[in-house]
Amino acid sequence: MSEKATFGAGCFWGVEAAFRRIPGVLSTAVGYAGGHIQNPTYQQVCTDRTGHAEVVQVEFDPNQVSYDEMLRVFWENHDPTQLNRQGPDVGTQYRSAIFYHSPEQKAAAEHSMQELAGSGRFRRPIVTQIEAAPVFYVAEDYHQQYLEKRGLASCHI
């Protein structure tokens, strides 16, 4: 039986590519979550007025890869101290967020954030939001596996 994990860590193209490389990840989809309108488009989300974050929803086999490993990849692939931005991308859609799908995921996310905050790795406080998974809206087809389709390994981050 598979599980879902949903993460916002800036531009979803690079985040999706990072998760697709993990053995045990069954599928990924980029999309939007956490906003206040239904079925948003990329153009609407980019206005910074819908409240949605660009996210990646990952389906994984917990017998092959743990949720803790998903969290490790999340933390390592963005700067969780940047509020509503990642690198040159600015806006609430680029916020750092973990959308949990179970009480166990919530506890694991909170624990991993506390561990990271106490590790001394960052000089600024972590601003990652940890919230219950809202409705996930799949992004337009051209965004799915965007970097792979173009032969690119990563975004600018």
Q: Could you list the active site residues?
A: 11
**66 in Cβ contact with 74 (< 8 Å):** no
Cβ atoms within 10 Å of 7's Cβ, excluding its own = 28
Residue type, 101: H
8 backbone dihedrals φ, ψ, rounded to 5°:
-115, 125
**11 in Cβ contact with 157 (< 8 Å):** yes
**27 in Cβ contact with 136 (< 8 Å):** no
